[in-house]
């Protein structure tokens, strides 16, 4: 039996889908069997970021409506044989989901995979609620800015009240990813520090990802940034994937800029 | 003991002219024959004999207890009713004022109040965690929050205890509190004679060693 992880954020555009694609690939590269599911019905993006856009034949909704079986709909990644992808429907909307069908689909996926990663839609509507309902854990992606923090706070509140696990008296694991950190801005006090964010959200930190221009190009090309060994964001995703697979990976402080450190050292020799 | 209770009709008068009195009774005898005649003041033997002849019962110089009229009774009853309602109202208002000073319905919460949550507390609240931006807390009683507030607070009690919360929106008894006045680690906000008084409870002080 695998673990079901929902990737949520509340606010849109903070990097949920990018995180889902990279962590899924990172976990697969660690040798675990992983499936990433796009729950953003009507606005699917994950296929593009994974570079599997032209492979989609059947989608999740067709599986739930029993128009196709799960094996037909699962798309194998070009990069790792351990990674599979299940697409969202682009033509239907969120109203086609219902709890029983979602539960059936997730329990089937859980049997075959070590990790089931669900990419949640932005917002806190029914699509979001269905994503978190049967999740064992949630990865909350935030940007270091107040609007993202508040929306994430709201999403965590709903997770804590509507998840099936919580209703059974168990706890949903919650891990925080702080995405798009600009070290210079944190140092100058323009950007929220991770300690401030952790104090507000009161959940466990699983990783910090620095701002990296390479992410956009990687997404456009359909090659997740984790494959780029030189990318600082890719390295951060590699560290987080390792932690998710149970490895002890030291936290790298991405809130200190290299140039700042260089300047400090240079300052000594002045 | 066996007893009977009944009402009697009384004709009360004083005699100034004996002839006039006799004539009045001759004419109105049928009307007053069942009445008790009460004479206030002097009466002569002649009158006594006259009354005995007519077989009329009489009394002299007596103070009989008078019943009040129905209207007067109703009026009195209404007055008492209003009086008791007013007393009840005053008592309730006093109790309400007092109840805020008591620890009535104290709720203790230690969970974080996240964005989007709205707490409506009847009575006092002791909250041992943060109130995040986008959350709202309403209390009818007193409010004590030991950590930072970034959401909205509506307190209708007689006092609040709050930490310095520069992002909070605080309304105390329908008056907005300027949160820049909450500058200490813990502040007491009270309502005294329609005035809001903020006093520091724990000041940020350096405790120097000897």
pLDDT number for residue B80? 86
Contact B116 A199 (CB under 8 A): no
Q: Three-state SS string across chain A, please?
A: CCEEEEEECCCCCCCHHHHHHHHHHHHHHCCCCEEEEECCCCCCCHHHHCCCHHHCCCCHHHHHCCCCCHHHHCEECCCCCCEEEECCCCCCCHHHCCHHHHHHHHHHHHHHCCEEEEECCCCCCHHHHHHHHCCCEEEEEECCCHHHHHHHHHHHHHHHHHCHHHHCCCCCEEEEEEEEECHHHHHCCCCCCHHHHHHHHCCEEEEEEECCCHHHHHHHHCCCHHHCCCCHHHHHHHHHHHHHCCCCCCCCCCCCCHHHHHHHHHHHCC
Question: How big is the A-B interface in CB pairs under 8 Å?
Answer: 31
Within the 201-230 window of chain A, which residues sit less than 8 Å (CB to CB) from chain B? 202
Pick the CATH number of A3-268 from 3.40.50.2000, 3.40.50.300, 1.10.1060.10, 3.10.520.10: 3.40.50.300
A157–B130: do the CB atoms touch at under 8 Å? no
Best of A125, A142, A148, A153 to disrupt the B interface by mutation (most B CBs within 10 Å)?
A153
| Interchain pair B115, A199: CB under 8 A | no
Sign (positive or negative) of CA dihedral A117, A122, A124, A128: negative
Per-residue pLDDT of chain A (270 residues; tens, 9 = 90+): 899 999 999 999 999 999 999 999 999 999 999 999 999 998 889 999 999 989 999 999 999 989 999 999 999 999 999 999 999 988 887 788 889 999 999 999 999 999 999 999 999 999 999 999 999 999 999 999 999 999 999 999 999 999 999 999 999 999 999 999 999 999 998 999 999 999 999 999 999 999 999 999 999 999 999 999 999 999 999 999 999 999 999 888 888 876 555 555 655 655
**Residues A150-165 pLDDT 10s:** 999 999 999 999 999 9
Measure the CA–CA gap between A36 and A226, rounded to whole angstroms.
15
Cβ contact, residue pair B134, A150, below 8 Å: yes
What residues of chain A lie within 8 A of the CB of B115, using their CB? Answer: 150-151, 153-154, 157
Q: How much is the ipTM here?
A: 0.79
Average pLDDT of chain A, as a whole number: 92
Instruction: Tell me, yes or no, if the pTM score tops 0.90.
Output: no
Would you kindly state where each structural domain of chain A is located, as residue ranges? 3-268
Please indicate whether, in this complex, the C-beta atoms of A150 and B132 are within 8 angstroms of each other: yes
Condensed to tens digits (0 to 9), the pLDDT of residues A202-257 reads: 999 999 999 999 999 999 999 999 999 999 999 999 999 999 999 999 888 888 87
CA distance A201 to chain B (A): 8
């Amino acid at each position: 039996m695998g673990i079901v992880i929902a990737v949520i954020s509340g606010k849109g555009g903070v990097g949920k889908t990018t995180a889902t694609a990279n962590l899924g690939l990172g976990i697969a590269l660690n040798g675990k069997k992983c499936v990433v599911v796009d729950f953003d019905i009507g606005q699917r993006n994950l296929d593009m970021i994974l570079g599997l856009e032209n492979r989609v034949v059947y989608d999740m909704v067709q599986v739930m409506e029993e128009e196709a079986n799960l094996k037909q709909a699962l798309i194998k990644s070009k990069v790792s044989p351990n990674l599979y992808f299940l697409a969202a429907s682009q033509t239907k909307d969120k109203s086609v989901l219902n709890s029983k069908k979602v539960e059936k689909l997730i329990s089937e996926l859980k049997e075959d995979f070590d990790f089931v990663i669900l990419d949640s839609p932005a917002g806190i509507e029914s699509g979001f609620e269905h994503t978190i309902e049967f999740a064992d854990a949630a990865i909350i992606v935030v940007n270091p800015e107040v609007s993202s923090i508040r929306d994430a706070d709201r999403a965590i509140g709903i997770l804590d009240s509507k998840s099936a696990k919580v209703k059974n008296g168990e706890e949903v694991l919650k891990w925080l990813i702080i995405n798009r950190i600009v070290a210079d801005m944190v140092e100058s006090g323009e950007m929220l520090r991770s300690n401030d964010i952790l104090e507000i959200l009161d959940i466990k930190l699983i990783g910090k990802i620095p701002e990296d221009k390479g992410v956009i190009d990687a997404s456009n090309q359909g090659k997740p940034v984790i494959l780029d060994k030189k990318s600082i964001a890719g390295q951060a995703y590699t560290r987080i994937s390792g932690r998710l697979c149970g490895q002890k990976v030291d936290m790298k402080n991405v809130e200190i800029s290299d140039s700042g450190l260089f300047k400090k050292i240079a300052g000594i020799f002045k | 003991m066996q007893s009977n209770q009944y009402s009697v009709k009384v004709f009360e008068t004083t005699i100034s002219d004996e002839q006039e009195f006799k004539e009045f009774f001759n004419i109105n005898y049928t009307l007053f024959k069942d009445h008790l005649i009460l004479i206030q003041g002097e009466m002569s033997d002649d009158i006594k004999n006259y009354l005995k002849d007519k077989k009329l019962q009489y009394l002299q110089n007596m103070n009989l207890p008078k019943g009040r009229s129905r209207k007067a009774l109703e009026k009195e009853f209404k007055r008492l009713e209003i009086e008791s309602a007013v007393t009840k109202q005053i008592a309730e208002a006093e109790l309400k004022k007092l109840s805020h000073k008591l620890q009535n319905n104290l709720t203790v919460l230690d969970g974080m109040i996240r964005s989007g949550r709205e707490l409506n507390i009847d009575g006092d609240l002791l909250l041992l965690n943060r109130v995040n931006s986008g959350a709202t807390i309403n209390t009818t009683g007193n409010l004590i929050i030991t950590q930072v507030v970034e959401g909205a607070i509506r307190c209708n009690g007689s006092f609040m205890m709050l930490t310095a919360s520069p992002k909070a929106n605080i309304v105390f008894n329908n008056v907005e509190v300027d949160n820049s006045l909450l500058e200490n680690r813990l502040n007491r906000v009270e309502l005294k004679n329609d005035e809001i008084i903020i006093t520091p409870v724990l000041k940020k002080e350096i405790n120097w060693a000897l």
